[in-house]
Amino acid sequence: MLSLRDFWRRHRRKVFVTVGVLGSGYVLYKLYHAHKQKLSDLERELEGERATDELIKAQLQAHFENIQRIADSTTLPYSMNYLQSRISEELDLSHLTARLSQGKGQPNTLTSLEKLQLWERLKILSFTRMISSLWGMTMLSLYIRVQVNILGRHLYIDTAREGSHLLEQADPFDRHSHQEFLATADYLSSYGMITLISDMQTAAAEVLNGKQLRDLFNTNLLHETIVLILDIFMSLGGPNHWVTYLMPENAIAYKYQMATSSSTLLPDVTKLDQLMVETRSVLLCDDFRNVVTISLRTVVDALMDDIGLQSGGNPSIGIPLAKLLPRVAQMGPLLLEEPGSNRFIQIIRRLPEVELFYTLLYANMPPSETTQEADSSFNSTSPFSGQ
């Protein structure tokens, strides 16, 4: 007993120190283990978030690419075919060429003045047909892609909110209200065509006035003429007037037009109006105007390459305007070929500026703006001239 007391007296400081050290070590060990466990949990959580982010990115990319394929394979072919039939119907030149051929075979059937008037009308309408086809093909392909990207992003968000991860298996265009929105792609052919052709004819007449049928045209002069007609056309009625050819002012106006033509009313006008307001704000933004400018210029350049090849590849070689008119008229149907084989649509689609614009449009939808707010972002210059 005494020995224990003696031992405690002699060694209690050491015992206290030892116990303190062991206790502190145990506490530190527990703290370290807890900290290590928290770090491990945090790493697993971050890894899970990274995996979720990668899954979302992959789904977004797959959905975006699917949306582009839908535009190219479903919506655009039908609308382009309708556009081609409407331009062919409204700008049929066969009656003019038939009368001129008849006058050539039977000289006494037409007076010199009548022949001149027919040639002048053929000149104006040939350029009107080609440039209306060029503008319509370019704008329709751009407009439909705006539509499907806006609608595609809405559908992705709606589906994500419902907790579905099978976007690639869904048919996003089965819903009736969304189909009504996509049907507005035919507004240009159904309602905007007459005004478009009238304004294009006005621009063509202004540029071609004074150009004689015997005047020599090479590809450089033809390029300059087309650009000038487009420039005047795009500025008619104000810098944003061309939007009225592509889409109605709002869903209510479209509803009444549809009711007048088919005696039916559109369902879900509120949703339709929301989509159309977003679409209109995109069409009126500076970025889209730049895309339009680049696309039109690129198509004109590609068209001149085709015509240049027909002329032997020398841009300085000129031919009389009278001989050029048949080629000009024939370019219209070529520009409106089926999208899968239409090289001009492929050229537009592959433009880096176009690809970037639609990627950003799908990824970061701008907030809905009123038409008046969007109008204030534009200046008074022609979108095609870029001046």
70-102 pLDDT per residue, tens: 666 678 888 999 999 999 999 999 999 888 888
Quick one: tokens of 286? 């500076």
> Rounded distance, CA 302 to CA 324, Å?
17
Quick one: tokens of 208? 């071609």
> Rounded distance, CA 335 to CA 331, Å?
6
| Cβ neighbours of 276 (radius 10 Å) | 24
The pTM of this model reads 0.74
Handedness of CA 231, 235, 240, 245 (dihedral sign): negative
Residue 39 has pLDDT above 80, yes or no: no
Tens-place pLDDT, residues 319-333:
899 999 999 999 999
The per-residue pLDDT of the chain, averaged, comes to 78
User: Contact 137/336 with Cβ under 8 angstroms?
Assistant: yes
| Cβ neighbours of 322 (radius 10 Å) | 15
Domain boundaries of the chain, sorted by first residue: 14-375
Name the residue among 184, 160, 187 with its Cα closest to residue 83.
Answer: 187
Q: 12-21, 280-289, 330-339, 345-354: lowest mean pLDDT where?
A: 12-21
> Rounded distance, CA 121 to CA 73, Å?
37
Quick one: tokens of 51? 């995996």
Name the residue among 249, 250, 267 with its Cα closest to residue 259.
Answer: 267
At residue 175 the predicted structure's pLDDT band, cuts being 50, 70 and 90, is: low
3-state secondary structure of 241: coil
> Rounded distance, CA 15 to CA 24, Å?
14
Name the residue among 174, 145, 147, 137 with its Cα closest to residue 159.
Answer: 174
Residue 378 has pLDDT above 50, yes or no: no
More confident residue, 348 or 176: 348
Quick one: tokens of 296? 């039109």
| Cβ neighbours of 378 (radius 10 Å) | 15
Single-letter amino acid code for the residue at 315: P
User: Contact 297/387 with Cβ under 8 angstroms?
Assistant: no
Query: What is the pLDDT averaged over residues 343-371?
Result: 78
What are the backbone dihedrals phi and psi of residue 216, each rounded to the nearest 5 degrees, phi first? Answer: -80, 135
Residues contacting 153, CB < 8 A, separation 6+ = 362, 365
What is the DSSP track for 254-314? HHHHHHHHHS---S-HHHHHHHHHHHHHHHTSHHHHHHHHHHHHHHHHHHHHHHHHHTTS-
Residue 269 has pLDDT above 70, yes or no: no
Single-letter amino acid code for the residue at 56: I
Residues contacting 74, CB < 8 A, separation 6+ = 173
Q: Where are the alpha helices (DSSP H) in the chain?
A: 2-70, 76-90, 94-105, 112-161, 176-183, 187, 193-208, 219-235, 243-246, 251-262, 269-283, 286-310, 321-335, 343-350, 352-363, 371-375
| Cβ neighbours of 111 (radius 10 Å) | 10
